[in-house]
Amino acid sequence: MTKPHILQFICSTGFYGAERWILALCRNTPANDAKHSLAVTLEENSKDLELVKEFKRDGGDTFEVPMSHKFDFSVVGKLADIIKRKKIDIIHTHGYKSDILGILAAKRAKIPVVVTPHGFENAEDFKLRAFIYLGCQSMRFADKVVPLSPQLMKDVKKYGIKAPKLEYIQNGVDLSEVEKVKHAPAKIASEKLRIGFIGQMISRKNIIDILDIFEAIASSRSDVELILLGDGDERASLEQYSNTLTSKSNIHFLGYRDDRLDYLRSFDLFVMTSTLEGIPRCLMEACAMGIPVAAYNIAGIDQLITHNQTGLLAELHDKSSLTKYWTTLLDDKDTASKLAENASKHVTQQYSAKRMATEYLGLFERLLALNTAN
């Protein structure tokens, strides 16, 4: 069978879960079995992307497609031209805008398209909500829709997408970087107990609850600090809010960091208060690193954390219970170590990037064979 040439396409604004997921998929696919190339839109907020740099370091071909404004549909023709010129067999899209543009380009170039939903956004902005709706509707015209979690499978079905178009491949994470940092000498230390979060600062991450819970804990003890890594639309307002808190001197917004895993290793507790998730990569990395976890019990997170087995979970918006769980994991080292060890084993055994890449390769080969036959 001909080795498939896959074009990974994303309208990226940073280096977060979806971007790292693409790298994990490509890096764990043997070069002899498939070729991956990368296309990204070149927009005002997506210049000098870390994803592009990493892809180039790996020796992959990259294409930056200029956009004159947020929803520039001339990208469709540009993508179709890349597909034909570079003899792309399949385009693989990630995100609402990427799905719409990628599906249109695939239809124009007459190749299969695979959509991988990484999560849904509960946006408040009407224009963004409308575009998200169109993105979800566009999935009906993909050849395959492959969500990352059982909950996302349920969500996708709401848009009328069913088998055989709908297929499930369990999420995976490249743990090689985590393993290197986990077993190397520590680079970052702290005199205080360090509570941390890594991820996008957007509405569904609900980071304001992290700030509120930290304020409650820090009001009665001086041995804790909060480290927040990542960037996003809500960072400025969150920093502004944190400056109104009595614990502000112990809250640190560090933005995007190349050494995020070194910081992750330094955490005594990893926390999340998201209201909506796929299966968060940052949480998988925290589990693999052996960091105790406390979070809200929502779909996606529940695939990684089982209460009192691999971490501690409170019901959504139950800040009082989650505050108690933070305290338990900070002060009860035996419980924290046991839960962290269980979580590390669970992620390592169930969420291998190599297994995920093998299953995607099988999907790509089936689509290529079917397209060739037709």
Sheet with strand 90-94: strands edge to edge:
62-66, 35-42, 5-10, 90-94, 113-115, 144-145
Contact 283, 267 (CB under 8 A): no
Q: Which CATH class is domain 176-350?
A: alpha beta
Beta-carbon contacts of 166 under 8 Å, excluding residues fewer than 6 positions away, are 144, 145, 147, 153, 156, 157
- Asked whether the predicted pLDDT for residue 69 surpasses 90, the reply is no
Residue-level pLDDT at 123: 60
Percent of the chain with pLDDT over 90: 76
pLDDT at position 21, please?
94
Q: What is the mean pLDDT of residues 218-225?
A: 96
Report whether pLDDT(122) > 80. Answer: no
Residue 142 has pLDDT above 90, yes or no: yes
Span(s) in the chain for CATH 3.40.50.2000: 5-172+352-373, 176-350
Handedness of CA 309, 315, 317, 321 (dihedral sign): negative
Lowest mean pLDDT of 55-64, 170-179, 228-237, name the range. 170-179
Mean pLDDT within 66-94 = 94
Average pLDDT over the chain, rounded to an integer = 93
What CATH topology corresponds to 5-172+352-373? Rossmann fold (3.40.50)
Given this model, what pLDDT does residue 121 score? 66
Predicted pLDDT of residue 174: 84
Alpha-carbon dihedral sign for residues 244, 246, 248, 251: negative
What is the pLDDT averaged over residues 191-217?
97
Q: Which SS3 state, helix, strand or coil, does residue 353 take?
A: helix
Please, which pLDDT band fits residue 314 given cuts at 50, 70 and 90? Answer: very high
What is the residue type of 210? I
pLDDT at residue 133, rounded to an integer: 80
> Residue 374: what pLDDT?
73
pLDDT surpassing 90 at residue 341 = yes
Interatomic CA distance for residues 267 and 255, integer angstroms: 16
Pick 287 or 69 by higher pLDDT: 287
Helical (H) or strand (E) element with 196: strand 193-198
pLDDT over threshold 70, residue 126:
no
Residue 278 pLDDT level (bands cut at 50, 70, 90): confident
For 158, residues 6+ apart whose C-beta sits below 8 A from its C-beta are none
Cα distance between residue 71 and residue 262, in whole Å: 37
151-163 pLDDT, tens digit each: 899 989 988 999 9
User: Model-level pTM?
Assistant: 0.75
Confidence check: pLDDT of 124 > 70: no
Q: Is the pLDDT of residue 262 over 80?
A: yes
Per-residue pLDDT tens digits for 5-34 = 999 999 988 888 899 999 999 999 998 999
Tell me the C-alpha to C-alpha distance, in Å, between residue 104 and each of 8, 101, 199, 218, 228: 15, 5, 30, 52, 38
Which of 125, 118, 124, 123 lies closest to 139 in space, CA to CA? Answer: 118
3-state secondary structure of 57: helix
Q: Which whole number is the average pLDDT over 339-345?
A: 97
Share of the chain above pLDDT 70, in %: 98
